[in-house]
Amino acid sequence: MTRIWPYLLIAGCALAADTKPPAQAARGQAFFLDETNAKHCGTCHSLAKQGNAVGPDISKLARLGPRAILMAIRATRTEYVQNVKLKNGTEFPGMPVAQDANTTQYYDVSVTPPALRKLDRSEIASVGDNSVWKHPPESAGYTPQQLADVIAFIKWASYGDTKGVKVEDVE
Ligand code: HEC
């Protein structure tokens, strides 16, 4: 016993330091994954191996300043999502996923959660700029504290940043 206890304590601490976010990032993580909100970030983004990788990998812009990240969250012009028109006359905003010789896959982001659609290339009439779908406009209703917390989580999950984000930096 006396030999096992110290070992367990050390192992426990190392694990906690590696995997547990600081308090603010933990709040941001809970918000990111909050299933009571049908359009929580994790519906469409994956971080720290949780959530769904529908939208782009947001860890790539995690090192930007909090305000720049906030602008990306609030952006109304889309960079990736395209307007996909089908020959049957329907259209949908699609986030490109993959393609092979005959098919193209998109996430249809007009529905929640986004639906994966695998289309035969012959079904597609045209693919153009999207001007209809907006990045979840609900983010306009989030409080500065929620936004600071979620950005702290993005930074912690992406590159281990533990400094946190001040509310003043996103107001
Ligand atoms: C319904 C799906 C959906 C939800 C919910 C969602 N996003 Fe997104 N997000 C996307 C898509 C799709 C894009 C790509 C938009 C485009 O075409 O530019 C995107 C883009 C982004 C970008 C910019 C990425 C880049 O490389 O330019 C950031 C940052 C981001 N989302 C963060 C968030 C955060 C934080 C939340 C939660 C508050 C959230 N998103 C909720 C689908 C979603």
Note the pLDDT tens digit of each residue in 108-152. Answer: 999 999 999 999 999 999 999 999 999 998 888 999 999 999 999
Nearest ligand 1 atom to the CA of 95 is 12
Determine if the peptide bond prior to 66 is cis (ω within 30°).
no
Question: Ligand 1 centre from 60 Cα, in Å?
Answer: 12
| Residues 121-130 as b or e (16 or more Cβ within 10 Å = b) | eeebeeeeeb
Mean pLDDT of the chain: 90
Query: Does residue 157 line the site of ligand 1, with CB under 6 A?
Result: no
Question: Ligand 1 centre from 63 Cα, in Å?
Answer: 16
Q: Give Dmax over CA atoms of the chain in angstroms.
A: 74
CB 47 within 8 A of CB 153: yes
| 15: confidence class by pLDDT, cuts 50, 70, 90 | very low
